[in-house]
Structure 1
Amino acid sequence: MSTEKLKIGYVPEHFSTPLYFAEKHFGLDAELLPFPSGTGHMITSLRTGEIDVGVGLTEGWVAGLGKDGVEEDGGYRIVGTYVETPLCWAISTGAKRKINSIQDLKNSKIGVSRIGSGSYVMGFVLADQQGWLSPSSSEPPFEVIPLQTFDKLRSAVNASSADFFMWEHFTSKKYYDNGEIKKIGEIYTPWSSWKIVARTGIGEGDQRLEEMFEKIDRGVRYFEGNKEESVRYISGKLDYTAGDAREWLKTVRFAKSTKGVDVKVIEKTVDVLRKAGVLGEGGMKAEDMIGSLRK
């Protein structure tokens, strides 16, 4: 077994707080690497071996493994559950754009971080919910504009190089409050929102993974028992107001035991993504995406 530290990719937003506590208070012995551009970027880094573990969005992980013709073994497996609650994706446009509702978005330009990312996948879930996907047409409901980062997405909708984008509600809220962008709607994931994956070179019995799950579980318990310390960290280090941090705390529920995945959650995600046209019928089955089942 390797004695090298695990390299763990994560998104440096409020959801990362238990990881911070796991490292600060409980000695999580890993290198935490921020990926502000999100899950799609982590998939690339897992496949090249730059990181060993990723903590990211369920729909991004599933989309990455479920596409037709995924090369070799896909590069990673879903091994853990991080957040049990759905994610609220806010739908945003430029502050001065004449776009005022979801109905204005059909056949427009969607800004996404990367192809296959959560921001990309949820655009098609939205289109499916709105009835904009036609089985008889190969035309996509939007022109997709990959822009990598949240900052570039905000700039693009104000410059009209994209018409709208989707990002987590509380991360977006500061920019509604300061007038930089405008909210025109929201959509919730039909599944629990965050999962943990490991590259396929790391087996389920790897002691480093076992220790990681144990430390993250302790970080989650600390997070739940020390809400004001969580608020101070989120508002002091992660670019949120204390009020928004407290409101977010009312909405989120982390997994009490992070090791393992419920196959039914992955099956539902695959089903919705196929219905939305993100995945075809020939990709990896849900059970094959999972490296560790919940017991």
Structure 2
Amino acid sequence: MIEKDRVAYTTQRLHDGKKAEIQAVLAVNNKDIMKLRIGVVPEHFSSPVFIYDQQGKFQARGVDVEVVICEAGTGDMVKRLQQGDLDLAFCVTEGLTTAVANDPRPIRMVGTYVTSPLCWSVSTGFHSAHQGLDTLRNGTIGISRFGSGSHIMALYMADQHQWPKTRSDETTGADIEDTQERQGLQFRVLHNLPGLAQAAEKGEVDAFLWEVFTTKHLYKSQQLRPIGQVVPPWSSFTIGARVHQLLDNPEGQLAVRRFLEVLNEAVQEFLAGMTQETKDNNGSEALPPSLRFLMERFHYSQADALAWFKTVRYPSDVRDISRQELGQCIRILRNTGAIHNPDQTEDHLVDSQVAHWI
């Protein structure tokens, strides 16, 4: 990071005049911003990060990042954060909320990545007898891993349908794997989308939940068939960061703040790139750059890419977290049995020195 950029950034962050923050920033003023390992899912939501990383724009703006693709999703990213193998991760909100509420020591929330709710499609094998969600009661649901969005949203689905629990020993100290039978469901860990799809096609699981646009190609190939959707009342993705040697020290906090500021730029450029007029080398109209990226990277048709774009909302500032929404998420997930810690509130989950309450 060149000196004039560091000075400009320092000046910007000292607007509130807090003595502690001044000292923290000055303490690292002459140090380079630390390298951050960022966990993301290999899905269209991650496009702003992929584009900025591909074009070298994070580094050009003074942020040193390593983008780590986590095919197993939120459960895997949470584990990597807890173990210190990742510094930040973009997790589905229900998975990150559950993990931090059950044990807030290794991870805190530092922002919101996608504000629109995630539409979870419930899929079964193409030749399955299941025609709707009602027949899934007491069935076997495929999940990527315990604590993942596919697991927690299955619990949410069962709770929404008021399926009776098959046992009554709901101790508050239970581990999340102990929800195995608490909502009238059995779970089978299958790691990723290919594993889930194969098991559903063979009838080894009754169904599984996954993001609708990511699953759509499996419906077109008639490997799977959709039988319903589950849409929770909270944001799709929130941003988690490890505490040890990152959020618990001034240099780490500065690096996270700087990354989130540059991430805001990446998001806004991606949104603008979905609609801007573009010409090719011959002067003819060409696809907008972000739309072209979606189609090439994820093999989406133009219609599917545009259909997804109509449904998604990114925040104007990724550092914002809604106190009301997070509180509602905690209450609902505690009721499903996913969160077993009765004492945690939204203040325990969020690093307010980095994130902004709204």
TM-score (norm 2): 0.77
Post-superposition shift, 1:18?
A: 1.1
Aligned to 1:125: 156
Q: d(CA) in 1 for partners of 2:93 and 2:112?
A: 9
Q: d(CA) in 2 for partners of 1:143 and 1:16?
A: 31
Among 324, 330, 335, the alignment partner of 1:275 is 335
Structure exhibiting the larger radius of gyration computed from Cα positions: 2
Post-superposition shift, 1:134?
A: 4.2
Q: d(CA) in 2 for partners of 1:74 and 1:168?
A: 29
Q: Is the 8 A contact 1:115 1:146 kept in 2?
A: yes
What code does the residue aligned with 2:356 have?
Answer: R
Structure 1 residue matching 2:219: 3-state secondary structure: helix
Post-superposition shift, 1:5?
A: 1.1
Unmatched segments (≥5 aa) in structure 1: none
The change in CA–CA distance for 1:229 and 1:174 in structure 2 (over 3 A counts) is: same
Q: d(CA) in 2 for partners of 1:84 and 1:11?
A: 16
Post-superposition shift, 1:207?
A: 2.1
* Number of aligned residue pairs: 291
What code does the residue aligned with 2:98 have?
Answer: A
Q: Tell me, yes or no, if structure 1 residue 42 matches structure 2 residue 77.
A: yes
Q: Is the 8 A contact 2:108 2:241 kept in 1?
A: yes
Q: Tell me, yes or no, if structure 1 residue 65 matches structure 2 residue 95.
A: no
The change in CA–CA distance for 1:133 and 1:277 in structure 2 (over 3 A counts) is: farther
Aligned to 2:303: 243
Deviates more, 1:98-107 or 1:137-146: 137-146
Q: Tell me, yes or no, if structure 1 residue 203 matches structure 2 residue 203.
A: no
Q: d(CA) in 2 for partners of 1:164 and 1:148?
A: 14
Q: d(CA) in 1 for partners of 2:85 and 2:158?
A: 34
- Residue identity over aligned pairs, in percent, reads 31
Q: Tell me, yes or no, if structure 1 residue 80 matches structure 2 residue 78.
A: no
Q: d(CA) in 1 for partners of 2:236 and 2:101?
A: 17
The change in CA–CA distance for 1:135 and 1:98 in structure 2 (over 3 A counts) is: closer
Q: Is the 8 A contact 2:145 2:151 kept in 1?
A: yes
Q: Is the 8 A contact 1:108 1:143 kept in 2?
A: yes
The change in CA–CA distance for 1:213 and 1:153 in structure 2 (over 3 A counts) is: same
Structure 2 residue matching 1:96: 3-state secondary structure: coil
The equivalences for 1:7-156 within 5 A come to 7-23=37-53, 24=55, 26-28=57-59, 29-67=64-102, 70=103, 73-134=104-165, 137-138=168-169, 139-140=181-182, 141-156=184-199
Structure 1 residue matching 2:98: 3-state secondary structure: helix
- Name the Cα RMSD after superposition: 1.8
Post-superposition shift, 1:4?
A: 3.4
The structure showing larger relative contact order (alpha-carbon pairs under 8 Å, at least 6 residues apart) is 1
Unmatched segments (≥5 aa) in structure 2: 1-27, 170-180, 275-287
TM-score (norm 1): 0.93
Structure 2 residue matching 1:250: 3-state secondary structure: helix
Q: d(CA) in 2 for partners of 1:33 and 1:114?
A: 18
Q: Tell me, yes or no, if structure 1 residue 163 matches structure 2 residue 206.
A: yes
